[in-house]
Chains A and B, each alone.
Chain A
């Protein structure tokens, strides 16, 4: 076998010190196949070499956590023998290059991560970030990504129930497509990836291997430049029909006890699945590549090992169970091939046409992957915001805000996703959190994804804390008890100290918030190098949260229910306008510090609101976030068709009171007869509350200003995105 060279290593995205490390662990020069394997396993995408040291500091345990980070997805106990398996993952780089297939295969990949552990996916969410609305690529990217997510998820028959979308110029060259999958399994039937034992058959199932996606993981570990479009061949093509068959076949086999370990072939395909399975099992794996089902003739070992063809799984079976497993996969008309065997050598050995074409110690690939303590610096903190002048009219400013990119209705997007298949969706898209019933039970899960990137940019630590707090708050606002999160950390180039500083501090903020709220991280994904020509994205650590409702009937929704009810805000309104949507969209300024989060207050206020919901004392609930109280109330009005009559408390600045984005606040409505008791109960435990006014027939009316028809507000809110997408 020809020895590979340093030049080839650099072409594979490795650096000189990493090449030397390979020579050391191999005790010789690798051949090209071996180099290819090292390059993907040691890529940022697979090895987390820049982030691992920091991720270790996140809290990952709680009495209800069954499986924390390190497996295909995280697992939590929701009682009665049921477990929820979930994870969020990015597919940013491929989606920018080929939006439909990039997003579709992102959905397919995260679903495999979940069902490979024994769960049936029951819900999908997605957190999307696009560039400026009028950037020449935005329309094409939005349209392709949304169609791709729908195209895959709809065919799989898994409802897409929630998510978030932001537009900002920092994403012009690097959109973010983060997909979260939530699955349901039995707590005593969870499948892990360890390839334990020696002499067990290693089985390949699913689609055939083609030449698509070679070096996808390496691409996802580099910055973009103007030639990025040339990377289109590294994007894989999705086939949701095959994935649906694979899901059903895997679940059917999982009902037997034939499986020792199972892992999906995601990034870095056969390489990472075989290495990780052997590493976790403390075993070795020998593969006969002549047996790999190939789509094309003449594929080399290098291509087979680096292909990222979709809809494939690698399994280790108990010896003698091959026939039984094969029968199930044949029934579903999928490829099934015994391609190797587990060994006790702790080596990955590849045979092809009778020759050994690779022989690598498994621990070198996994455990000894490079680990970098990259230098980082504290980003400069913005100066606090000075006083802001009152606008001529709060109502007029509100009417403008509801039709801005980050606040306009997302209906154009979520109506392309089947949100009701499986017939368990209780809260469809448009709520604070989605609610999905656990089939055949009275329980439900509350699901949401959140982060406010502009806050993280201004203060990474505070922004990290806020992302977790908002996720916790959204679950609480529907009546759920928050249980655990998955994090999808999207950042720029970690080799720049200021970007690494954003990462380190945001992760620290996430960790502190998770600890304070008993909301551990059970799975996650890191996407770095989201930069084009040296311009990084806003730091975007998306948080996907799962909570539980013991009784699905005791939940809250956003719309007002009737006119004449009392509107109350739970939590203190100081009027924090720094980094607010009002400041950015009305005044064109991205300035100031983000609103501080006090985690003790967050918890106290949230626990109080959850109790109001479960005891049936409130008729509607909405957390106050982007756009402050005015936008929160407008959303409650628009979703109901009703209106509100509002009064600004004496002595308060109107603009600060209505548009400030102070945290830990919920707007609730209650029947007039119940309102005083709620206010008294809140005050009794030290929670600031303010009555804002009453719900009304069909106008929003602020004291001293003209009434504004809710229907008109709704029209402005609804028409922005369809108009953008119809423009040509």
Chain B
């Protein structure tokens, strides 16, 4: 699998996801600077990592969505190249409209960092084939703006089309997200955005390896 991780000036999970991809894939992903005009040719996967991209003093991900490299990311995504957006990466995907909806301030108005349980709603995709449908997995969240919001029609459509990828287990929604949504796919299931950080539960020393299956699934599907 030939993967690339886009690095914004205040990305701070770029190294973590680099390491998780390398562990699953054997070879490391390319690291692409935000001011570059284009991504490497022949990519199988583009990753938008967590962090604060340009400081996120404006809406999270709003400025990153306008950065030079994102034109190529959007172009490739529209042509079918798979994209994984984690945390800030999910926010950027919503800001570019590659995914529907928006991530608002957490309902508590506070940053939240904790391990949360979520169910795998959409198995059998290139991102989630390694999980059983309905499996409960434990993954850390760390964000101030993870409160997923979309209008009722959009939410109904996401549910109806099976585009909800992960859902917080009832009672453990850390941010007030509509219908406990933790992550969603685009219609074609080639793009996944999620707030929790699978790369932080991807090796035994993390105390839990529930996140590893996402990277393993991608390697299996895209190699």
Contact of A241 among B15, B55, B144 (CB under 8 A): B55
B52 with A422: CB separation less than 8 A: no
Known: A241-B52, A416-B110. A421 touches B10 (CB 8 A): no
Q: Mark A249-276, 1 if CB is under 8 A from B, else 0.
A: 0000000000000000000000000000
Contact of B113 among A241, A248, A332, A418 (CB under 8 A): A418
Chain A residues contacting B142 (CB-CB under 8 Å) are 154, 418-421
Binds A, one of B117-125, B158-166, B199-207: B199-207
Q: Mark A519-558, 1 if CB is under 8 A from B, else 0.
A: 0000000000000000000000000000000001100000
CA distance A316 to B13 in the complex (A): 32
B113 with A155: CB separation less than 8 A: no
Chain B residues contacting A552 (CB-CB under 8 Å) are 205
Q: Which of A419-469 contact B (CB under 8 A)?
A: 419-423, 426, 437
Q: Mark B97-138, 1 if CB is under 8 A from A, else 0.
A: 000000000000011111000000000000000000000000
Contact of A157 among B13, B20, B200, B205 (CB under 8 A): B13
Q: How far is the CB of A466 from chain B (nearest CB, A)?
A: 31
Chain A residues contacting B10 (CB-CB under 8 Å) are 155, 157, 240-241, 244-245
B9 with A245: CB separation less than 8 A: yes
Chain A residues contacting B61 (CB-CB under 8 Å) are none
- The reply on A3 being an interface residue by CB < 8 A is no
**Pair count A-B, CB < 8 A:** 86
Q: How far is the CB of B116 from chain A (nearest CB, A)?
A: 11
Whose C-beta in chain A lies nearest to the C-beta of B10?
A244
Q: How far is the CB of B127 from chain A (nearest CB, A)?
A: 19
Chain B residues contacting A109 (CB-CB under 8 Å) are none
CA distance A420 to B20 in the complex (A): 14
Q: How far is the CB of A440 from chain B (nearest CB, A)?
A: 8
Whose C-beta in chain A lies nearest to the C-beta of B206?
A423
B52 with A244: CB separation less than 8 A: yes
Chain A residues contacting B54 (CB-CB under 8 Å) are 241
Chain A residues contacting B51 (CB-CB under 8 Å) are 157
Known: A157-B51, A422-B16. A415 touches B9 (CB 8 A): no
CA distance A654 to B51 in the complex (A): 52
Whose C-beta in chain A lies nearest to the C-beta of B9?
A245
B15 with A154: CB separation less than 8 A: no
Whose C-beta in chain A lies nearest to the C-beta of B53?
A241
Q: Mark B184-220, 1 if CB is under 8 A from A, else 0.
A: 0000000000000101101001110000000000000
- The reply on B44 being an interface residue by CB < 8 A is no
Q: How far is the CB of B99 from chain A (nearest CB, A)?
A: 23
Whose C-beta in chain B lies nearest to the C-beta of A241?
B55
- The reply on A150 being an interface residue by CB < 8 A is yes
A418 with B52: CB separation less than 8 A: no
Contact of A416 among B16, B55, B111 (CB under 8 A): B111
- The reply on A156 being an interface residue by CB < 8 A is yes
Among B11, B19, B50, B205, find the residue whose CB has the most chain A CB atoms closer than 10 A. B205
Known: A415-B114, A437-B205, A552-B205. A420 touches B9 (CB 8 A): no
Q: How far is the CB of A703 from chain B (nearest CB, A)?
A: 35
B9 with A244: CB separation less than 8 A: yes
Contact of A426 among B11, B56, B205 (CB under 8 A): B205
Chain B residues contacting A150 (CB-CB under 8 Å) are 111
A423 with B114: CB separation less than 8 A: no
With an 8 Å Cβ cutoff, the count of chain B residues facing the other chain is 31
CA distance A241 to B13 in the complex (A): 15
- The reply on B140 being an interface residue by CB < 8 A is yes
Contact of B9 among A332, A419, A421, A422 (CB under 8 A): A332
Chain B residues contacting A332 (CB-CB under 8 Å) are 9
- The reply on A147 being an interface residue by CB < 8 A is yes
B199 with A423: CB separation less than 8 A: yes
B9 with A333: CB separation less than 8 A: yes
Whose C-beta in chain A lies nearest to the C-beta of B57?
A241
- The reply on A417 being an interface residue by CB < 8 A is yes
A416 with B113: CB separation less than 8 A: yes
Whose C-beta in chain A lies nearest to the C-beta of B113?
A418
CA distance A421 to B54 in the complex (A): 18
- The reply on B12 being an interface residue by CB < 8 A is yes
Among B12, B197, B199, find the residue whose CB has the most chain A CB atoms closer than 10 A. B12
CA distance A242 to B200 in the complex (A): 26
Q: How far is the CB of B198 from chain A (nearest CB, A)?
A: 11
B113 with A415: CB separation less than 8 A: yes
Chain A residues contacting B202 (CB-CB under 8 Å) are 423
Chain B residues contacting A421 (CB-CB under 8 Å) are 12-13, 16, 50, 142, 200
Whose C-beta in chain B lies nearest to the C-beta of A244?
B10
CA distance A347 to B199 in the complex (A): 53
Q: How far is the CB of A253 from chain B (nearest CB, A)?
A: 16
Q: How far is the CB of B47 from chain A (nearest CB, A)?
A: 15
CA distance A616 to B209 in the complex (A): 23
Whose C-beta in chain B lies nearest to the C-beta of A158?
B12
B111 with A154: CB separation less than 8 A: yes
Whose C-beta in chain A lies nearest to the C-beta of B207?
A426
CA distance A553 to B16 in the complex (A): 20
CA distance A552 to B55 in the complex (A): 34
CA distance A69 to B170 in the complex (A): 52
Contact of A420 among B11, B110, B112, B197 (CB under 8 A): B197
Known: A241-B54, A244-B52. A418 touches B15 (CB 8 A): no
Whose C-beta in chain A lies nearest to the C-beta of B52?
A155
B12 with A156: CB separation less than 8 A: yes
B15 with A419: CB separation less than 8 A: no
Known: A245-B9, A420-B200, A423-B206. A240 touches B55 (CB 8 A): yes
Q: Which of A207-248 contact B (CB under 8 A)?
A: 239-242, 244-245, 248
Q: Which of A400-424 contact B (CB under 8 A)?
A: 414-423
Chain B residues contacting A437 (CB-CB under 8 Å) are 205
Chain B residues contacting A155 (CB-CB under 8 Å) are 10, 12, 52, 55-56
Whose C-beta in chain A lies nearest to the C-beta of B54?
A241
Among A154, A248, A416, A423, find the residue whose CB has the most chain B CB atoms closer than 10 A. A423
Known: A421-B16, A421-B142. 10 other contacts (CB 8 A): A147-B110, A154-B111, A156-B12, A157-B10, A157-B51, A244-B10, A415-B112, A417-B111, A423-B200, A426-B205
A interface residues (Cβ-Cβ under 8 A, vs B): 147, 150-151, 154-157, 239-242, 244-245, 248, 332-333, 414-423, 426, 437, 552-553
B interface residues (Cβ-Cβ under 8 A, vs A): 9-13, 15-16, 19-20, 50-52, 54-57, 110-114, 140, 142, 144, 197, 199-200, 202, 205-207
Pairs of residues from A and B, 5 with the lowest C-beta to C-beta distance, nearest first: A157-B12, A241-B55, A423-B16, A418-B142, A244-B10
17 A-B pairs with CB atoms under 8 Å apart are A154-B113, A154-B144, A155-B56, A157-B10, A157-B12, A239-B55, A241-B54, A242-B55, A245-B9, A414-B113, A416-B113, A419-B113, A421-B200, A422-B12, A422-B16, A552-B205, A553-B205
